[in-house]
Structure 1
Amino acid sequence: AITNTADSPLARASDYAIDILAGPERSVAATKTFINSAVAGLALMAHATGDDALLAALAQLPGHFRKAIACDWMSVLAETIEKQKSLFILGRGPSAAMANEAALKFKETCGMHAEAYSAAEVMHGPLALIGPDFPVLALAARDASEPSIAEAADGLAAKGAPVFVTSALAQRAVRLPHVATGHPLTDPLTLIVSFYMFVEAFARHRGLDPDTPRNLRKVTETV
């Protein structure tokens, strides 16, 4: 089990429990537990497979996270996105998980519809929505999928959409500042950290409290 509460029912029911040590998670959006859970999962995988390169990359993450926190996306994204009602968020490979998380955070904290897509799929049916009034945020890590994400971002920008991408490979889309970690599995984590800083500021810009979204509770019950 991976848990933020060492004596939780989940931990007690498990043979092995990993405490992510995130401290009390008071925000409904639960950003720090998302990050710590992902890091714990990667660490577990690295130890199980003897992946020394991944373990070394994980050890360097605190410094990379500090740099990711300093990346300014607000001044680049806010003016364009605040005028619209919906947007796409793209990823591929591990960054697809970050795209899904980012789309959820737009809904939760900003009251704005966002839909995550794989960069490999968006050029099909979803393309019908693309135009000047439909922004796209493309999250590209430094991995094998980066060229295809940059290509998709440029393709959507060529069709008139305002597109923002975390890749220096893009030519038409607006490039966002991002932090490379030197490992394809930890790169997506710095992207979501930079996004979290943006989405918190954007929610407050819209007059919302990102820690207490409308209609949501911290704990839900499944019967």
Structure 2
Amino acid sequence: MNDTVLEIASQPAVWAHGLALAGEARAALAAPGERTLVLGCGTSWFMAQSLAELREAAGLGETDAVCASEFVPRRRYDRVVAITRSGTSTEVLDALRRLPAGVHRVAVTAVDGEPVDDLVDTRILLDFADERSVVQTRFPTTLLAMTRAAFGEDLGHLVADGEAALATDLPADPAAIDHLVFLGTGWTVGLAHEAALKVREAAQAWSESYPAMDYRHGPVAVAGPRSLVWSFGAVPASLDDVVRAAGALPYRDDRDPLAQLVLAQRFAVALAAHRGLDPDHPRLLTRSVVLA
């Protein structure tokens, strides 16, 4: 039982804590009518994509998501939200420093007293969702649970769905899978990218992710009998026929997409175990990227 496994299993209880912060998050993240940018790197960038889609879909205003390392201050924003678990990621800090005066800066982080604190006007601290692991699991999912509640979504089912995802069987034997593809639509495209990253980080395995309807525009060509194609959220059921025609195994379920991500995290860890890898010590990775 390693830290990654324990943190995956803790998510339903941690989500309940995050949901209680919906009011604080609404004040910091909703800002109705303001033009907003969300920044992050790695997992945090994928969460930024989901957050941006959720905010626009809730009718709160124009929202962009940009990888912090690619940020160039060309557009005008009223508010910039930086997602950084550690509060130390160099590219996120540099992006905040490049913002013009007058922009309201918000950080969502898991650690108190780090450099990001001095660069923002408002901070949401999710220290109860922090992780010992390099591979992020409960911090990003708690962020999205809190955000969805802040934007008005009824998540009364979420904790139970998460508990069910911890108890259910995996969708396939990891020994039978060499290739994973994750598909999403709307805000779950970010979840698809995050699930694929977990497989690469924890299991050093071949994984891809796409907006669902783009999958047939080329990527399906590499699917085969040892491919598992996993759909998050309201992906059209017709894609399963495309997957089967390629000889691959489709998977989807009716639980909340965050609970589906929990199951994908479990699969990544199981695949790591099958490959003789320790997800607590992923190859070439550190908890935060701090550049000289």
Q: TM-score, normalised by structure 1?
A: 0.74
Give, in whole Å, the separation in 2 of the partners of 1:22 and 1:72: 28
Contact persistence 2:220–2:246 (CA under 8 A): no
Letter in 2 for 1:43: A
Q: Give 1:183's aligned residue.
A: none
Give, in whole Å, the separation in 2 of the partners of 1:95 and 1:77: 24
Letter in 2 for 1:164: P
Residues 23 and 152 (structure 1), Cα distance of their counterparts in 2 relative to 1, 3 Å cut: closer
1:95 aligned residue (146, 171, 188): 188
Shift of 1:205: 2.2
Shift of 1:36: 1.7
Shift of 1:70: 0.9
**Deviations for 1:10-60, whole angstroms, at most 9, x for unmatched residues?**
23422221112335421111111121222233233x2xxxx2xx1x31x54
Contact persistence 1:138–1:153 (CA under 8 A): no
Give, in whole Å, the separation in 1 of the partners of 2:130 and 2:109: 12
1:57-136 correspondence runs (5 A): 57=155, 59-73=156-170, 76-81=172-177, 84=178, 86-133=179-226, 135-136=227-228
Contact persistence 1:92–1:119 (CA under 8 A): yes
Q: Give 1:170's aligned residue.
A: none
Gaps of 5+ in 1: 168-177, 180-186
Contact persistence 2:225–2:249 (CA under 8 A): no
Shift of 1:111: 0.9
Q: Give 2:246's aligned residue.
A: 159
Residues 128 and 37 (structure 1), Cα distance of their counterparts in 2 relative to 1, 3 Å cut: same
Give, in whole Å, the separation in 2 of the partners of 1:131 and 1:60: 35
The answer to whether the aligner puts 1:139 opposite 2:139 as a matched pair is no
Letter in 1 for 2:207: A
Identity of aligned residues (%): 31
Q: Give 2:275's aligned residue.
A: 206
Aligned residues: 186
Shift of 1:215: 1.3
**Deviations for 1:113-169, whole angstroms, at most 9, x for unmatched residues?**
211112211111223223334x1322232xxx33x2x21122121232x223114xx
Give, in whole Å, the separation in 2 of the partners of 1:164 and 1:189: 19
Q: TM-score, normalised by structure 2?
A: 0.58
Give, in whole Å, the separation in 2 of the partners of 1:11 and 1:64: 34
Give, in whole Å, the separation in 2 of the partners of 1:166 and 1:127: 17
Q: Give 1:196's aligned residue.
A: 265
1:6 aligned residue (95, 112, 117): 112
SS of the aligned residue for 2:128 comes to coil
Shift of 1:5: 1.5
Give, in whole Å, the separation in 1 of the partners of 2:129 and 2:230: 31
Give, in whole Å, the separation in 2 of the partners of 1:132 and 1:63: 33
Letter in 2 for 1:136: L
SS of the aligned residue for 2:122 comes to coil
| Aligned residues: CA RMSD | 2.1
Q: Give 1:42's aligned residue.
A: 148
Gaps of 5+ in 2: 1-106
